[in-house]
């Protein structure tokens, strides 16, 4: 019996997430973006999935990644659009256009923070949204995405 090739999920991180570990560690913790990416790769592998992790401080580049996910037939998207979550109709529209199962993640609880963070355009384009779990939210997002697309853990 042939093994099925690993399906790819895109893990997209937006502005300032490259500063994880040093930016306001009292809010965001001490884990670095490299730690997030390692967590995602390991969690995805448990489901026979490949995590393609990317970060950009530029809105247009994040949109290009979303479009590429469609072209490459990605199985899903995990997105932490950072501050763009609260401002970017363009990211919302890109996620809606590609129709790829998407989970939004935030390291902090955006609903316990400033009022302007309580609304998320990207959440409206996702089937689920997680916030406040720290970087563990990424693991939970991948587990939820796997369940949504019907992939079970291999180990």
What are the residue numbers of the active site?
Answer: 28, 106
Distance of alpha carbon 101 from alpha carbon 72, whole angstroms: 14
Which residues make Cβ contacts (< 8 Å) with residue 44, sequence separation at least 6?
9, 50, 51, 142
Q: What does each C-alpha distance from 116 to 44, 57, 151 come to in angstroms?
A: 32, 19, 36
Token pair, residue 18, equals 């490259």
């Amino acid at each position: 019996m042939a093994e099925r090739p690993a399906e790819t999920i895109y893990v997209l991180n937006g502005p300032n997430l490259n500063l994880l570990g040093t930016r306001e560690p009292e809010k965001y913790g001490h884990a670095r973006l490299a730690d997030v990416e390692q967590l995602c790769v390991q969690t995805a592998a448990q489901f026979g999935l490949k995590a393609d992790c990317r970060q950009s401080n530029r809105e247009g580049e994040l949109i290009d990644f979303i479009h590429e996910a469609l072209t490459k037939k990605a199985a899903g998207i995990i997105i932490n659009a950072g501050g763009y979550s609260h401002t970017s109709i363009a990211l919302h529209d890109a996620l809606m256009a590609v129709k790829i199962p998407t989970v939004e993640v935030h390291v902090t609880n955006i609903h316990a923070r400033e009022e302007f963070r309580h609304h998320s355009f990207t959440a409206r384009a996702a089937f689920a949204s997680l916030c406040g779990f720290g970087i563990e939210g990424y693991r939970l997002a991948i587990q939820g995405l796997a369940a949504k697309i019907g992939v079970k853990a291999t180990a």
